[in-house]
Amino acid sequence: GQNIDQPTEMTATEGAIVQINCTYQTSGFNGLFWYQQHAGEAPTFLSYNVLDGLEEKGRFSSFLSRSKGYSYLLLKELQMKDSASYLCAALNAGNNRKLIWGLGTSLAVNP
Amino acid sequence: ETGVTQTPRHLVMGMTNKKSLKCEQHLGHNAMYWYKQSAKKPLELMFVYSLEERVENNSVPSRFSPECPNSSHLFLHLHTLQPEDSALYLCASSQDLVDLSGNTIYFGEGSWLTVV
């Protein structure tokens, strides 16, 4: 089957580091996306990983392990504005190519 | 500002009304999408257009009718909706179909729809 799992909610403190995990099961795999969505706003693109390893973009990094069907989003030096929902989406490959979306992880950053 | 503009941002309609959601993308993209976002559910892909042709229809009820007059504009026509259709409707675009090449999807702000 096709499935994405990520934690529903997480809480962290301003200035800290938080890791949001995502596991996926797809019939074929062609990459994984992370999006950030603030309440009442559009999801905005954060990262796309198709090869194993860590990709860093400023305070945000994304990691992928294809063999384990696992990704994580790492947020460093947390700021209050990082409070948002973080959506993981795996790009299925094969006869039914489409994006499989997770439910999103709601991150609350406290002072 | 994502380059994808949706109107209206909020819409309340009765079950017998006919209304339309509008989407315009200023990114020169070839593919456009309608998604439905409901609480406690993953994003649901409704319709996909590539170069103004519908390429996917994910078993969406006929009370939702898409229209793509050109590569920059996408409409979602609504008629005789049900209360369970109340949700956030997101328009999105990508340079080419995301399923072919992992193209990044850019979303609009969404239209909050309430059916009463």
pLDDT in tens, A28-59: 888 999 999 999 888 999 999 999 999 999 99
Q: Does A48 touch chain B (CB under 8 A)?
A: yes
Q: What integer pLDDT is reported at residue A94 of this predicted model?
A: 65
Chain A residues lying within 8 Å of B107, measured CB to CB: 35, 42-44
Q: What integer pLDDT is reported at residue B101 of this predicted model?
A: 62
Lowest mean pLDDT among A33-37, A105-109, B37-41: B37-41
Residues B71-106 have pLDDT tens digits of 999 999 999 999 999 999 999 999 988 766 667 899
B42/A43 CB distance under 8 A: no
Confidence of residue A97 (pLDDT cuts 50, 70, 90): low
Touching B: A residues 52-111, CB under 8 Å? 87, 89, 91-92, 97-104
Of B93, B106, B115, B97, which Cα lies nearest the Cα of B29? B93
Q: Does B40 touch chain A (CB under 8 A)?
A: yes
Query: Between A and B, how many residue pairs show a Cβ–Cβ distance under 8 A?
Result: 50
Residues 6+ apart with CB under 8 A from B100: A97
B52-75: average pLDDT: 90
Q: What integer pLDDT is reported at residue A71 of this predicted model?
A: 98
Closest residue of B to A103, CA-based? B42
Closest residue of A to B101, CA-based? A30
A99/B108 CB distance under 8 A: no
Q: Closest to A44 (Cβ–Cβ): which among B2, B99, B100?
A: B2
Residue recorded with tokens 């194993």: A52
- What separation in angstroms does the CA of B80 have from each of A83, B6, B86? 37, 21, 12
Confidence of residue B37 (pLDDT cuts 50, 70, 90): very high
B27-51: average pLDDT: 92
Q: What integer pLDDT is reported at residue B103 of this predicted model?
A: 78
A69-87: average pLDDT: 97
Q: Does B42 touch chain A (CB under 8 A)?
A: yes
Neighbouring-strand partners of residue B77: B20, B65
Q: Above pLDDT 70, what percent of chain B?
A: 95
Q: What integer pLDDT is reported at residue B100 of this predicted model?
A: 62
Question: C-alpha angle with apex B57: B73 to B105, nearest 5 degrees?
Answer: 50
Write b or e for each residue in A24-47: b if 16 or more Cβ atoms lie within 10 A of its Cβ, otherwise e.
Answer: bebeebbbbbbbbbeeeebbeebb
